[in-house]
Amino acid sequence: MRRLLLDALVLFGFVAAGCTTTSSNTGSASGPGEAVVQRVVDGDTIVVSIAGRDERVRLIGVDTPESVDPRSPVQCYGKEASAFTTQLLPPGTVVRLERDVEARDRFDRLLAYVYRVSDGLFVNFELARAGYAQVLTIPPNVAYAEEFRVAAAGARQAGSGLWRACPDA
| Integer Cα distance of 80 and 64 in angstroms | 10
Of the candidates 58, 96, 99, 116, the residue annotated as catalytic is 58
Q: Give which of 114, 120, 150, 121 is closest to 135, Cα–Cα.
A: 150
Of the candidates 80, 96, 99, 109, the residue annotated as catalytic is 109
Please say if 109 is a catalytic residue: yes
Of the candidates 55, 66, 80, 126, the residue annotated as catalytic is 66
Please say if 66 is a catalytic residue: yes
For residue 130, which phi and psi values (nearest 5 degrees)?
A: -85, 0
Report the 3 state secondary structure along 59-89: ECEEECCCCCCCCCCCCCCHHHHHHHHHHHC
Please say if 96 is a catalytic residue: no
Active site residues: 58, 66, 109
